[in-house]
Amino acid sequence: MPPSSLSPSPSDTSTLGVAESIDVAVIGAGPAGLMAAEVLSAAGWRVDVYDAMPSVGRKFLMAGKGGMNLTHSEPAAPFVARYGKRADVVARWLRRFSADDVRSWAHRLGIDTFVGTSGRVFPVDMKAAPLLRAWLTRLRAAGVRLHVRHRWLGWAAQAAAGPDDLRFATPGGERRVRAKAVVLTLGGASWPQLGSDAAWVPWLQDHGIGVAPLLPANAGFETDWTPHLRERFAGRPVKSVTMTLPDGTTRQGEFVISTHGIEGSLVYALCAPIRDAIRANGSTQIYLDLLPDWREQRVAEEVARPRGSRSMASHLQSRLGIAGVKAALLRECLPRETFNDPAALAAGIKRLPLTLLRTRPIAEVISSAGGVALDALDAHLMAKALPGVFCAGEMLDWEAPTGGYLLTACFASACVAGDGAAAYLRALR
C-alpha cells in the first residue's frame, strides 16, 4: 500500500491558526511518535501529532518492504547486549516496554506474529501497512489528532517565547502552537527523503541540549574492488563466514558484495566498531574465515593435497567447496604468489584480510548513531535544559543492529517519554 493511502483524512488535520493552545504536541509521526501518542492518550491527554511529510510512518513502511521485522525472540540478556555502550540505559527502557510487549501490542491490533528461523519476529503477512492502518484507526478513536505537512521550525524567537511556543511551516503558511508538553521524535539523519533530515540539531543545541555527532549505523563499507569483482559479483551473498576485527571481536553470518564494498546483516552487526576504527585511523582491516566450520589443520591438509593437472581453482572447489564469490575474494585479497604456497593459501582461507576504507554516506544507510546526549535528559527523557520537552526514538544517542532491536528500543523509549510527559502534565494541574 502506498504511503499516501495512510494519510490522515481532512477531518484529522485541524484548521490553521495562530498560537493555538493544546495539551501535548508530539513532533514526528514515526513509530516512536505514534507510540508516545498512544501512551499519552491512554493517560487521558489530548494529543496532537505533527509531521513534515504528507503521510505518517513513511520510514516504518519503507523498512517493512522486505518483511516487517518487529522485534527479536532471543532471551533478555543477549537482547540487551545488542545495544553495546548504551545497553544499561536501553535496558531501563525495555523494562517499560519489552520485546514480548511488542508482540502483545501487535496482537491487540489484530496482527498475528511468528518467529522466523533467525529468531526475528514478523507479522504473519510480513507487511507493515496493515499494522500501521490498524494503529492509526485506534489512535484516531482515542482522539489523537494527526497533522501532516507540518514541518517543525523550532521555537518562536521572541523574548517572551518559551519551549512551549512551537513554529510549523504548513501549506497555508506558518502556524504557531502552544503546548503544555512536547515530545520530540524526529529521527536521526538516515533516509532524509522520508523525513529524518536532522534539521532539529541546531535548535536543540541553541537551547543548551547536547547533541553527539550523527554517524552512519547499520551501514555498508567501501573498499577498492577491482573492476572484475565489482562487475561479476556485486549483489552476491557471501554465506557461512565469520568476520573478525583487529581486537578479536568475531561474528558468524553472511554479507553481500556491493558495488562499493560490503553490506548486509553480518556487516551491520559489527558496524559500530568498524566505523569507529575507520574514523580513528582512516581505514581498518577485517579478517574473513571462508570455512568457519573447518579446522585449520584440515584446510591445510586439503589445500596441500596433490592436484595433478587441475588448476588451483578446480582443486579448491573439489577439495574445499570454495568457488564463485568466495574464490573471487581469495583472488581479490591475496597476493598472486600465495596460490603457489599451500600453507599461505590455507592460512588466507581461514583469515582473509580485507581493507575497508570508508563508511557509506549517512543519507543512504539504515539508521544513524549519535543524537541527543543521554546525559542531557533525565530518567524520564525530559531535557534538563528545557522542562516539558521530551525526546525519544532514533534521535537519541544510541544504536543497535538490524533484527528488530531498533524498532523495539524506539517503542520503549517512546513509552518512557510518554509516561514522563503524562506525569509532567499531571504536575501542572
Other Cβ atoms within 10 Å of 267 Cβ, number: 25
How far is residue 183's CA from residue 147's CA, in Å, rounded to a whole number?
A: 15
Among residues 38, 25, 4, 39, the alpha carbon closest in space to that of 420 is found at 39
Among 341, 359, 377, the domain-final residue is 359
On whether residue 7 sits in a domain, the answer given is no
Model pLDDT, residue 9 = 41
Model pLDDT, residue 18 = 57
The radius of gyration of the chain's CA atoms, rounded to the nearest angstrom, is: 25
Scan for cell 523495539, then name that residue: 408
Q: Where in 221-267 does DSSP place strands (E)? A: 221-222, 237-244, 250-257, 261-263
Model pLDDT, residue 162 = 59
Give Cα 159 distance to the centre of its chain.
38
Looking at the structure, do residues 36 and 180 belong to the same domain, yes or no?
Answer: yes
What phi, psi does 222 have (nearest 5°)? -100, 145
Q: DSSP assignment, residue 128?
A: S
Q: What is the DSSP string of 377-400?
A: B-TTSBBTTSTTEEE-GGGBS---
Give Cα 60 distance to the centre of its chain.
11
Looking at the structure, do residues 27 and 113 belong to the same domain, yes or no?
Answer: yes
Among residues 89, 123, 129, 84, the alpha carbon closest in space to that of 105 is found at 123
How far is residue 357's CA from residue 362's CA, in Å, rounded to a whole number?
A: 15
On whether residue 189 sits in a domain, the answer given is yes
Looking at the structure, do residues 50 and 100 belong to the same domain, yes or no?
Answer: yes
Looking at the structure, do residues 396 and 255 belong to the same domain, yes or no?
Answer: no
Task: Encode burial over 51-60: b for 16+ CB neighbours within 10 A, e otherwise.
Answer: bbbebbbbbb
Model pLDDT, residue 163 = 66
- pTM, whole model, 2 decimals? 0.91
**Residues in Cβ contact with 248 at an 8 Å cutoff, skipping those fewer than 6 apart:** none
pLDDT 10s digit of each residue in the chain, 429 long?
A: 333 344 444 434 344 445 789 999 999 999 999 999 999 999 999 999 999 999 999 989 988 787 899 999 999 999 999 999 999 999 999 999 999 999 999 999 999 999 999 999 999 999 999 999 999 999 999 999 999 999 999 998 754 555 679 999 999 999 999 999 999 999 999 989 988 999 999 999 999 999 999 999 999 999 999 999 999 999 999 999 999 999 999 999 999 999 999 999 999 999 999 999 999 999 999 999 999 999 999 999 999 999 999 999 999 999 999 999 999 999 999 999 999 999 999 999 999 999 999 999 999 999 999 999 999 999 999 999 999 999 999 999 999 999 999 999 999 999 999 999 999 999 998
Scan for cell 568466495, then name that residue: 326
Model pLDDT, residue 64 = 77
How far is residue 14's CA from residue 147's CA, in Å, rounded to a whole number?
A: 7
What phi, psi does 192 have (nearest 5°)? -60, -25
Q: What is the dihedral of CA 237, 259, 246, 86, to 10 degrees?
A: -80
On whether residue 1 sits in a domain, the answer given is no
**Strand pairing partners for 166?**
155, 177
Among 300, 332, 359, the domain-final residue is 359
Q: What is the dihedral of CA 269, 349, 356, 338, to 10 degrees?
A: 180
**Angle subtended by helix axes 405-428 and 99-108, to nearest 10:** 80
Looking at the structure, do residues 394 and 287 belong to the same domain, yes or no?
Answer: no
Looking at the structure, do residues 307 and 419 belong to the same domain, yes or no?
Answer: no
On whether residue 11 sits in a domain, the answer given is no
Number of domains in the chain: 2
Among 300, 331, 359, the domain-final residue is 359
Model pLDDT, residue 424 = 97
Looking at the structure, do residues 320 and 384 belong to the same domain, yes or no?
Answer: no
Looking at the structure, do residues 74 and 152 belong to the same domain, yes or no?
Answer: yes
Looking at the structure, do residues 203 and 299 belong to the same domain, yes or no?
Answer: no
On whether residue 8 sits in a domain, the answer given is no
Looking at the structure, do residues 89 and 230 belong to the same domain, yes or no?
Answer: no
Looking at the structure, do residues 274 and 416 belong to the same domain, yes or no?
Answer: no
3-class DSSP state for residue 316? helix
Side by side, the strands of the sheet bearing 250-257 are: 352-356, 284-289, 237-244, 250-257, 261-263, 221-222, 358-359
Other Cβ atoms within 10 Å of 185 Cβ, number: 30
Cell numbers at 5, concatenated: 493511502
- Containing structural domain, residue 87: 20-217+367-428
Q: What is the dihedral of CA 243, 245, 251, 255, to 10 degrees?
A: -40
The Cβ-side half-sphere exposure at 113, using a 13 Å CA radius, reads 25
Model pLDDT, residue 161 = 52
On whether residue 260 sits in a domain, the answer given is yes
How far is residue 200's CA from residue 271's CA, in Å, rounded to a whole number?
A: 25
Looking at the structure, do residues 33 and 128 belong to the same domain, yes or no?
Answer: yes
Whichever domain contains 60, its CATH number is: 3.50.50.60
Scan for cell 588448476, then name that residue: 311
On whether residue 230 sits in a domain, the answer given is yes
On whether residue 142 sits in a domain, the answer given is yes
